Amino acid sequence: MTRTILVLYGSYRRDRQGIKLANWLVDAFGARGDTAELIDARAAGLPMLDRMYKEYAKGEAPPAMAELAHKIRAADGFVFVTGEYNWGPQPGLKNLTDHYLEEWFWRPAAIACYSAGPFAGVRAMMGWRDILGEMGMAVISSILTVGRIGHAFDGDGKPTGDDGVRLEKAFPRFADDLNWWIDAAKAQRERQAPPY
C-alpha cells in the first residue's frame, strides 16, 4: 500500500541544517515505497497568520495557501521536522501549521527533531506533541532525534558519523510506527465517517 506523507519543515535561517534531515526523510520514505513530499515553510511563502485558510471566502484564498490546503487534505500522514529555538518550536513551521485546522484532522503525525547540540531538539518536540494533538492529529509515540545536526550529514546529504548512524538505525521503527497509524486511520475513515 502506497502512503502519501507530507514532510513539513520550517526554518527560515540562512544556513539551515535541518533541511538535510527533511530531504533525507523524503528520500527514506520514498525508498520504502511511500510517496513523500517536502513542504518547506520558507518556500511556501505564507504570510504571518492574519486569516486561516477557512476564513477566506471560497476561491479567495491566496493560490499558494489553497494549493497547500489541498495537499494537506490529500495526505495520509505528516512528519514535522523541527529544530529547537529557545526550548520551543520554530516560528516558521508553527506559522505554516496555524494557517489550517480541519485540513489536519483524523490523520497521524510524527515528529523528527534536531539541534546543534546533543539534546537533539527534544524540548521543542514536547511542545509539538501538544500543538499537533490540539489540531486534530494523532501523534505517534516514536520520535526521531538528531543531535549535532551540523555533523550528522555529509556534503551529499547522506548520514555520517555517530549521529548519522543513530538516525539510520532509528528510522525503520519510526517509519513503521507512522505507517501502522496511517493504515489504521485510513481503514477507520473508510469504515466510518469522522464524527465532525
What is the residue-wise DSSP string for 32-63? TT-EEEEEEHHHHTPPSSSS-GGGSPTT-S-H
**Whole-number average pLDDT of the chain:** 94
* Integer Cα distance of 175 and 150 in angstroms: 23
Write down the pLDDT at residue 119: 77
Strand, coil or helix: 23: helix
Q: Cell numbers for 130, please give them.
A: 501538544
Percent of the chain with pLDDT over 90: 85
Least confident of 47-61, 111-125, 147-161: 111-125
Q: What totals of helices (H) and strands (E) does the chain contain, helices first? A: 6, 5
Kindly state the cell numbers that stand for 128.
509539538
Q: Decide yes or no: CATH 3.40.50.360 for domain 4-191.
A: yes
The pLDDT confidence band at residue 42, using thresholds 50, 70 and 90, is: very high
Rounded to whole angstroms, the Cα distance separating 112 from 143 reads 6
Find the mean pLDDT for residues 119-135.
Answer: 90
pLDDT of 116: 82
State yes or no: pLDDT of 161 exceeds 90.
Answer: yes
pLDDT score for 175: 98
For the segment 13-27, the average pLDDT, to the nearest whole number, is 95
- Residues composing the chain: 196
List residues bridging with 139 in a β-sheet. 109
Cell numbers that stand for 179 in this block: 505507517
The whole-number pLDDT of residue 88 equals 81
Tell me the average pLDDT across 103-113.
Answer: 97
Segment among 54-58, 93-97, 117-121 with least mean pLDDT: 117-121
Structure confidence at residue 122 as a pLDDT band (50, 70, 90): confident
